[in-house]
Amino acid sequence: MEQTFIMIKPDGVQRGLVGEIISRFEKKGFSLKGLKLLTVERSFAEKHYEDLSAKPFFPGLVEYIISGPVVAMVWEGKNVVATGRTIIGATNPSASAPGTIRGDFAIDVGRNVIHGSDSVASATKEIALWFPEGIVSWQSSLHSWIY
Ligand code: RTP
């Protein structure tokens, strides 16, 4: 079953959006497989965003991610990588549709509340980076359509 890595960024934690964001993924029907609150070191943030290291906004992005605690999560379910990105909305909140997390709760691309893996390959890499201890293995026994 497909899994994705979702991170609530420091502004999302500071603004009290953790419950709202978890609720949106739960209500959609995805299963929570990993969850922790942590503050990351600069080198860890640089590793997570290493593909963007040549971008002019990279230093500011790293400062943002290390500025406070983040919530790291693994969610599982059918097409969860792409559907998770749809739930999150476009990178720049000024272009994010209402009803998406960024569309409803963000204005600035530099404070866009949440991260979600952009491909299955990225999800695999990011889950390994953020959850080296592994994640809980469980399945809902209620319904086959609840992942
Ligand atoms: P994320 O990785 O956080 O889910 O975001 P994304 O795929 O939607 O966007 P990406 O291009 O990978 O950018 C990563 C994060 O960098 C910040 N950013 N700032 N100042 C800027 O122009 C700018 N562009 C991107 C955002 O926090 C974005 O989520």
Task: Say which range, 18-27, 62-71, 94-103, 129-138, has the weakest mean pLDDT.
Answer: 129-138
CA angle 70, 72, 73 (to 5 degrees): 145
Q: Is 118 in the pocket of ligand 1 (CB under 6 A)?
A: yes
Query: What pLDDT score does 92 carry?
Result: 94
- What three-state secondary structure class fits 56? coil
Q: Is 43 in the pocket of ligand 1 (CB under 6 A)?
A: no
- In this model, does residue 146 exceed pLDDT 90? no
> Mutation test of ligand 1: which of 21, 50, 91 has the most ligand atoms closer than 8 Å to its C-beta?
91
- Span 9-56, pLDDT tens digits: 999 999 999 999 999 999 999 999 999 999 999 999 999 999 999 999
Residues 36, 13 contacting (CB under 8 angstroms): no
CA angle 69, 74, 78 (to 5 degrees): 145
Q: How far is the CA of 145 from the centre of ligand 1 (A)?
A: 32
Closest ligand 1 atom to 64 CA: 27
> Mutation test of ligand 1: which of 11, 50, 112 has the most ligand atoms closer than 8 Å to its C-beta?
112
14: CB partners within 8 A, 6+ apart: 68
Plot region of 74 (φ>0 → left; ψ -120 to 50 → alpha; else → beta)? beta
**Complex ipTM tops 0.85:** yes
Residues 101, 113 contacting (CB under 8 angstroms): yes
Closest ligand 1 atom to 112 CA: 27
Backbone angles phi, psi at 136, to 5 degrees: -70, 140
Question: Any catalytic annotation for residue 115?
Answer: yes
Q: Is 91 in the pocket of ligand 1 (CB under 6 A)?
A: yes
